[in-house]
A and B are shown apart, each in its own frame.
Chain A
């Protein structure tokens, strides 16, 4: 006999504890990215949270149309079909779904049995879980709900023994049943994605208590310990508590060493701290697990430069550019590295690539001009130098080099003008003597 569920009741929605502004943000995101499978999957969860079962199915199916192997969308669809009373279709959907994570399909089989009122089948399914998963709090909660179908007092006793896992949450958020009915959102493992996003958004709004609660709820919907710790580390970073963030991510990395997220977070945290050795170790670990992450290669390039390893730095920046040829910041670093290594032809091409992207500063223009000087193209160098002066008309370095470029080109008047302004603005650099000596041999101001 199927059990009575509360998925489409107002109570179930309020249990999800999503604040109205978070719901608005997630809805807007779904409208903005109709072709992103994860966003559509989350939109399905949101529809589910609103009790819109047909709408939820539409979104899960949209996610699967974008990515037919998107396992969580398949699991979510199966459970939504079950809640809709379409048990046979739900079973088929589960059969056709990929495995999103160890044990999820087995857990979902038990949930479908629960919704169908078949305690024995559900308990048998949970028996198949590996021991480390069988002790998860959300699995224990599901087991309590299944046992309650046949032996309420036994279930109550089990729930009392399990309750401490949920001590930080109000009872109505964590109990497997509310009153006489099952609260079905409780048994949707895929909801962790909605809760994690909600936690991040709450954190960005500095609503720390709500953010932490959302992270806890994610933990109770199949987010594993490492995901939970990483989420809390992210919240600590948002709050400016870097020490705490490092500890949480380090623990996450210890528990799930193959997952890249903790290593990536640690790489940036140690970099911001200025700890080269720890940052290097974390970057190596992160890149071993996420080798196509161009931003990490950029940060590694900066680290190599900080260590004085120009060759390795250039290799890192070029690695980032291989992944993303339009990565302007990496292109700029490539140009600067080539400039430093006096590889003028290559530097010229890199600077021109940067400038074509629209990014410019007086330093970029000046270094480009100096590169052109080395290549003997003085007209282009003067033009680039003038561009640098346009951006920083009172920058002594620009005026000094512009004067030199004009002098090399034989344009004494323009050199005299640039250097005279240089002398007015220079605060006493070593170039001053050189300019004064040169000017003493120059013609007087023609004006």
Chain B
């Protein structure tokens, strides 16, 4: 499992970079094949809306997409998010 964590962490980083996520605003890590994502999923590419509600809705979409991508990486047991502005309740992502 330790080897998987080493490999997965770099794959997570690559996935976040490909999605244009600002790595300065989010921490990522892997422990026992569980991915942890903490912070804010701001995009380098999409302009942040000045309307906070809209910005959170944008982040909801981003979080849902990134969760799908991360869960599809082989060897991942779970993905745990602790995001500043959005939260997953049950199966749905919502603004905080």
Q: A201-B44, A201-B45, A361-B80 are in contact. Are A268 and B13 (CB under 8 A)?
A: yes
CA distance A276 to B80 in the complex (A): 26
Chain B: interface residue total (CB-CB under 8 A): 29
Which residues of A360-412 are within 8 A (CB) of B? 360-361, 363
Question: Do B34 and A361 have beta carbons less than 8 Å apart?
Answer: yes
Chain A: interface residue total (CB-CB under 8 A): 39
Q: Separation in Å of the A94 CB from the closest CB of chain B?
A: 33
Question: Do B38 and A238 have beta carbons less than 8 Å apart?
Answer: no
CA distance A329 to B10 in the complex (A): 14
Say yes or no: is A162 at the interface (Cβ < 8 Å to chain B). Answer: no
Q: Separation in Å of the B82 CB from the closest CB of chain A?
A: 5
| Complex interface: chain A residues within 8 A of B44 (CB) | 25, 200-201, 204
Among A200, A271, A357, which residue has its beta carbon within 8 angstroms of that of B7?
Answer: A271
Question: Do A237 and B32 have beta carbons less than 8 Å apart?
Answer: no
CA distance A273 to B7 in the complex (A): 7
| Complex interface: chain A residues within 8 A of B7 (CB) | 271-274, 306
| Complex interface: chain A residues within 8 A of B80 (CB) | 359-361
| Complex interface: chain B residues within 8 A of A240 (CB) | 18
CA distance A306 to B29 in the complex (A): 15
Say yes or no: is A298 at the interface (Cβ < 8 Å to chain B). Answer: yes
Say yes or no: is B91 at the interface (Cβ < 8 Å to chain A). Answer: no
Residue among B11, B14, B78, B82 with the highest chain A CB neighbour number at 10 A = B14
Question: Do B14 and A237 have beta carbons less than 8 Å apart?
Answer: yes
Question: Do B5 and A306 have beta carbons less than 8 Å apart?
Answer: yes
Other than the known A238-B18, A271-B9, A305-B2, what 10 A-B pairs have Cβ atoms closer than 8 Å? A201-B44, A204-B45, A268-B10, A272-B14, A273-B7, A298-B9, A299-B9, A333-B31, A359-B80, A361-B78
Residues in chain B within 8 A of chain A (CB atoms): 2-3, 5-7, 9-11, 13-14, 17-18, 20, 27-32, 34, 36, 38, 44-45, 47-48, 78, 80, 82
Q: Could you pull out 7 A-B pairs where Cβ atoms are within 8 angstroms? A: A204-B44, A271-B9, A273-B7, A306-B6, A329-B29, A333-B31, A361-B78
